[in-house]
Amino acid sequence: MSHIELQSRLPRTYHIKEIKQETEMVRTYTFDGSLGAKPGQFVMVWLPGVDEVPMSVAYDDGAETKITFFNVGDMTAELATCKVGDLVGLRGPFGTCYEWKPGQHIALVAGGYGAAPMYFVAKETVGHGCTLEVIVGARGEEHLLYLEELEALPHVSLHIATNDGSVGYKGFNTDVLQKMLDSCPVGADGCSPIDQVFACGPEMMLKKISEITAAHKIPSQLSLERYMKCGYGLCGNCVVDPLGIRLCTDGPVIKNDVCVKIEEFGKYHRDGVGRKHEFKGS
Ligand SMILES: Cc1cc2nc3c(=O)[nH]c(=O)nc-3n(C[C@H](O)[C@H](O)[C@H](O)COP(=O)(O)OP(=O)(O)OC[C@H]3O[C@@H](n4cnc5c(N)ncnc54)[C@H](O)[C@@H]3O)c2cc1C
Ligand code: FES
């Protein structure tokens, strides 16, 4: 906790500079300031008198910060009523970020709002000479996010998967990753053409990616979410069994060799009062 400066632990208000309605339920807000966030980190988004919730940073270029959010409940419904010029409180940035080496060939897998932080990581990694296979998945075409932005980046091969087959591969984005890794097996030198896999999305998608990348002996970094209150290691609400690590400080981006030791990964999570909830399909 002590390594997070007081300045980042306290909320500061930022004006909403731009609003993009991505889909019926999804909006992107651009704020008029940088928090110095790296790809994979999150901020706590505060609406006074309503609530404070964690959101991944969708972009931070040193001048502006973006978040992309789903309108799913009380806080996000209120957030969705904001207009350009309104003030929103942000704390952070918090947590770990994705790590890469210049020139690597990386597969990025995105589900749901995970496309936003995956775009942030894509933009930064191509700037470091990396080449990318980006796999974006959604229920249907109308729910796909960040396609135009990803297509505009150099050195990106974009792959799309939709559950209903309305565009791209019919099925899960994890099927696309599986086929991709099966078709480029580890060479005689013991190296895979894909150096590592980064993913952000629903937990059951991450669980599958953990299994696929472990089977192919390819390192992966996955963004895990738990109910977060303080965001900087104080309250203990985001601790996972049995390791006792706090996902707000040791995560949200976790290397797969640690993920596989988290027994609750892909099985259950705890709500704001510590009650267990099983993941659907676990
Ligand atoms: C590290 C991290 C990054 C996230 N990034 C994004 C993002 O980029 N975009 C986005 O739309 N959502 C993101 N979320 C999820 C987001 O925080 C919740 O969807 C949001 O809090 C819903 O709040 P609500 O009050 O509108 O809904 P509610 O109806 O109150 O909650 C709906 C569900 O959201 C989850 N939730 C609520 N409060 C919290 C909390 N404090 N911490 C964690 N989960 C909570 C719970 O699973 C709950 O069942 C992220 C969560 C985490 C932990
Ligand atoms: S959210 Fe408080 S310790 Fe992680």
Check pLDDT > 60 for residue 1: no
What pLDDT score was predicted for residue 3? Answer: 74
What pLDDT score was predicted for residue 191? Answer: 63
Cβ of 235 below 6 Å from ligand 2: yes
pTM over 0.85: yes
Sign of CA dihedral 77, 114, 249, 61: negative
Determine the residue of 44, 238, 250, 254 to mutate for testing ligand 2's pocket, defined as the one with the most ligand atoms within 8 A of the Cβ atom.
Answer: 238
Q: Could you tell me if 214 and 204 are in contact, meaning their C-beta atoms sit under 8 angstroms apart?
A: no
Cβ of 270 below 6 Å from ligand 2: no
Averaged pLDDT for residues 38-62? 97
What pLDDT score was predicted for residue 281? Answer: 77
pLDDT category at 50 given cuts 50, 70, 90 is: very high
Whole-number Å distance, alpha carbon 104 to ligand 1 midpoint, is 32
pLDDT category at 190 given cuts 50, 70, 90 is: low
Mean residue pLDDT of the chain comes to: 95
pLDDT in tens, 142-160: 999 999 999 999 999 999 9
Kindly list the structural domains of the chain, giving each domain's residue range(s) and its CATH number in brackets, ordered by start. 6-94 (2.40.30.10), 105-278 (3.40.50.80)
**Ligand number, closest to the Cα atom of 227:** 1
Cβ of 236 below 6 Å from ligand 2: yes
- Which atom of ligand 2 is nearest to 248's Cα? 4
